[in-house]
Structure 1
Amino acid sequence: MKKIILSLIATILLVPASVRADEGMWFLMFIERLNHRDMQKMGLQLTAEEIYSINHHSLKDAIVQFNGGCTAEMISKDGLVLTNHHCGYDAIAELSSPEANYLKNGFWAANRKAELKPKSLFVRFFVRMDDVSKRILSKVNDKMTEAEREAAINKEIALIEKENNEGGKYTVSVRPFFQGNEYYYFVYQDYKDVRLVGTPPENIGKFGGDTDNWEWPRHTGDFSMFRVYADANGNPAEYSPNNVPLQPKHHLPVNLGGVKENDFAMILGYPGRTNRWMPAGGIEQNVKFAYPAWVEGSKMGMDKMKTHMDQSDAVRLMYASKYASLANYWKNRQGMIDALTKFGTAKTKAAQEAKFDKWANQKENKEKYGHVVETINKYYALTNEKARHDNYLMTMLRSSAFGTISRTMGRQLENYAKADEAKRKEMYPGLVEMIDEFYKEAYIPAEKDILAGQLNLYATKAGYTLAPMVEKLGKENNNNFTKYVNNAFDNSVFASPEKVKAFLQNPNATTITNDPLVVLSNDLLNHYNAKSEVIAKAQNDFGASFRLLVQGLRDSKLASIKYPDANSTLRLTYGKVRALPADKRNDAKVNNYTTMDGMVKKYKKGDEEFDLPVRLMEMNKAKDYGRYADKDGSMHVNFLTDNDITGGNSGSPVLNGKGELIGLAFDGNIEAMAGDVIFDKNLQRTINVDIRYVLWVIDKFSNAKHIVDEMTIVK
Structure 2
Amino acid sequence: MKKLLLSLIAAITLVPSSVKADEGMWFLMFIERLNHRDMQKMGLQLTAQEIYSINNHSLKDAIVQFNGGCTAELISKDGLVLTNHHCGYDAIAEQSTAEKNHLKNGFWAKTRAEEIKPSSLFVRFFVRMDDCSKRILGVVNATMTEAEREKAINAEIAKIEKENNEGGKYTVSVRSFFQGNEYYYFVYQDYKDVRLVGTPPESLGKFGGDTDNWEWPRHTADFSMFRVYADANGNPAEYSTSNVPLQPKHHLPVNLKGVKENDFAMILGYPGRTNRWMPAGGIEQNVKFAYPAWVEGAKTGMDNMKKYMNQSDALNLVYASKFASTANYWKNRQGMIDALSKFQTAKSKAAQEAKFNKWANSAANKAKYGNVVETINNYYKLTNEKSRHDNYLQQLFRTTTFGTIGRTLGKQLETYAKADAAKRAQLAPAILEMADELFKEAHIPAEKDILAAQLKLYSTKSTGYAIAPMVEKIGKENNGDFSKYVNAAFDLSIVTSKDRIKAFLDLPSEGLLANDPLVALSNDMTTHFSSKSDAIAKAQNDFGAAYRKLVEGLRESKIGEIKYPDANSTLRLTYGKVRSLPADKRNDATINNYTTLTGQVKKYKKGDQEFDLPARLLEMNKNKDFGRYADKDGSLHVNFLTDNDITGGNSGSPVLNGKGELIGLAFDGNIEAMAGDVIFDKNLQRTINVDIRYVLWVIENFSGAKHIVDEMTLVK
TM-score of the two chains, using structure 1 as the length reference:
0.97
What residue number does 2:119 align with?
Answer: 119
CA distance in 1 between counterparts of 2:246 and 2:513 reads 45
Q: Which residue of 2 aligns with 1:378?
A: 378
SS in structure 2 of the partner of residue 383 of structure 1: helix
2:408 partner SS: helix
Gapped regions of structure 2 (runs ≥ 5): 1-16
Question: 1:21 touches 1:684 (CA, 8 Å); kept in 2?
Answer: no
Supply the distance in 2 between the matched residues of 1:72 and 1:649 (Cα, whole angstroms): 9
Q: Determine the C-alpha separation between the residues in 2 that align with 1:412 and 1:329.
A: 30
Return closer, same or farther for 1:291/1:662 CA change in 2, 3 Å cut-off: same
Residues 21 and 38 in structure 2, CA contact (< 8 A), matched pair in contact too: no
Q: Equivalences for 1:133-532 in 2 at 5 Å? A: 133-463=133-463, 464-532=465-533
Residue 13 of structure 1 aligns with which residue? Answer: none
CA distance in 2, matches of 1:19, 1:714: 33
Q: Distance in 2 between matches of 1:379 and 1:435?
A: 41
Judge conservation of contact 2:75–2:82 (CA < 8 Å) in 1. yes
Report the counterpart of residue 623 of structure 1 in structure 2: 624
- Say which SS state the counterpart of residue 116 (structure 2) adopts: coil
- 1:571-586 aligned at under 5 Å gives the runs 571-586=572-587
8 Å Cα contact 1:276/1:565 also seen in 2: yes
SS in 1 for 2:24: coil
CA shift digits 1:564-586 (9 cap, x unpaired): 00000000000000000000000
> Take 1:440 and 1:92, find their aligned partners in 2: how far apart are those partners?
14
Partners of 2:153 and 2:264 lie apart in 1 by: 41
Map of 2:649 onto structure 1? 648
Q: Which amino acid aligns with 2:364?
A: E
CA distance in 2, matches of 1:399, 1:237: 34
One-letter amino acid matched to 1:213: N
One-letter identity of the residue aligned with 1:634: S
Name the SS for the 1:445 alignment partner: helix
Matched with 1:10 is: none
Residue 570 of structure 2: aligned partner: 569
* 1:700 paired residue number: 701
Following the alignment from structure 2 to structure 1, what is the Cα–Cα distance between the partners of residues 21 and 514? 56
Kept in 2, the 8 Å contact 1:258–1:630? The answer is: yes
Alignment of 1:600-615 (within 5 A): 600-615=601-616
Deviation at 1:20, TM superposition (A): 6.5
> Deviations 1:246-271 (Å, cap 9, x if unpaired)?
00000000000000000000000000
Q: 1:407 is paired with a residue of what secondary structure?
A: coil
Deviation readout 1:232-257 (Å, 9 max, x if unpaired)? 00000000000000000000000000
Structure 1 residues 602-623: Cα deviation after superposition (integer angstroms, max 9, x where no partner): 0000000000000001001000
Query: Where in structure 2 are the equivalents of 1:9-158 lying within 5 Å?
Result: 22-158=22-158
C-alpha distance in structure 1 between counterparts of 2:493 and 2:429, whole Å: 22
464-473 or 60-69, larger mean C-alpha shift = 464-473
CA contact (8 A) 2:87 2:651 kept: yes
Shift of 1:509: 2.1
SS in 1 for 2:268: strand
Check whether the contact 1:21–1:643 (CA below 8 A) recurs between aligned residues: no
Q: Following TM superposition, by how much is the alpha carbon of 1:18 offset from its aligned partner in structure 2, in angstroms?
A: 11
1:660 aligns with 2:661: yes
The superposition leaves residues 639-697 of structure 1 with CA deviations (integer Å, 9 ceiling, x where unpaired) of 00000000000000000000000000000000000000000000000000000000000
Give the drift of 1:21. Answer: 6.4
**Contact residue 21 and residue 682 of structure 1 kept, 8 A:** no
User: How far off its partner does 1:430 sit?
Assistant: 1.9
SS in 2 for 1:185: strand
Match of 2:12 in 1: none
Specify whether residues 150 and 18 from structure 1 end up closer, same or farther in structure 2 by C-alpha distance, changes over 3 A only.
closer
Whether contact under 8 Å (1:29, 1:52) holds in the other structure is yes
Task: Give the match for residue 633 of structure 1.
Answer: 634
Distance, in Å, in 2 between the alignment partners of 1:402 and 1:680 is 41
Deviations for 1:46-89, whole angstroms, at most 9, x for unmatched residues?
A: 00000000000000000000000000000000000000000000
| In structure 2, C-alpha distance between the alignment counterparts of 1:352 and 1:369, rounded to whole Å | 15
2:10 is matched with which residue?
A: none
Aligned to 1:11: none
RMSD after superposition: 1.0
Specify the alignment match of 2:553 in structure 1.
552
Counterpart position of 1:12: none
Instruction: For 2:694 and 2:257, locate their aligned partners in 1 and report how far apart those are by CA, in whole Å.
Output: 12
Structure 1 alignment gaps of length 5 or more: 1-16
What's the CA shift string for 1:307-365, capped at 9, x where partnerless? 01101211110000000000000000000000000000001100100000000010000
Partner of 2:590: 589
Q: CA deviation at 1:145?
A: 0.3
The CA distance in 1 between the partners of 2:425 and 2:498, in whole Å, is: 19
The CA distance in 2 between the partners of 1:602 and 1:545, in whole Å, is 51
Distance change (3 Å), C-alpha of 1:589 and 1:171? same
Given that 1:474 and 1:481 are in contact with CA atoms closer than 8 Å, whether structure 2 keeps it comes out as yes
Where 1:85 maps in the other structure, the secondary structure is coil
Cα deviation for residue 428 of structure 1 reads 2.0
Asked if structure 2 preserves the Cα contact closer than 8 Å seen for 1:64 and 1:72, the reply is yes
Following TM superposition, by how much is the alpha carbon of 1:437 offset from its aligned partner in structure 2, in angstroms? 1.1
Aligned length: 699
| SS of alignment partner, residue 668 of structure 2 | strand
Q: Is the 8 A contact 2:22 2:645 kept in 1?
A: yes
The aligned amino acid for 1:449 is D
C-alpha contact (below 8 Å) 2:115/2:196 kept by paired residues: yes
Provide the rounded CA distance (Å) in 1 between the counterparts of 2:697 and 2:428. 48
**Range 38-47 or range 463-472, more displaced:** 463-472
Offset at residue 420 of structure 1 (A):
1.6
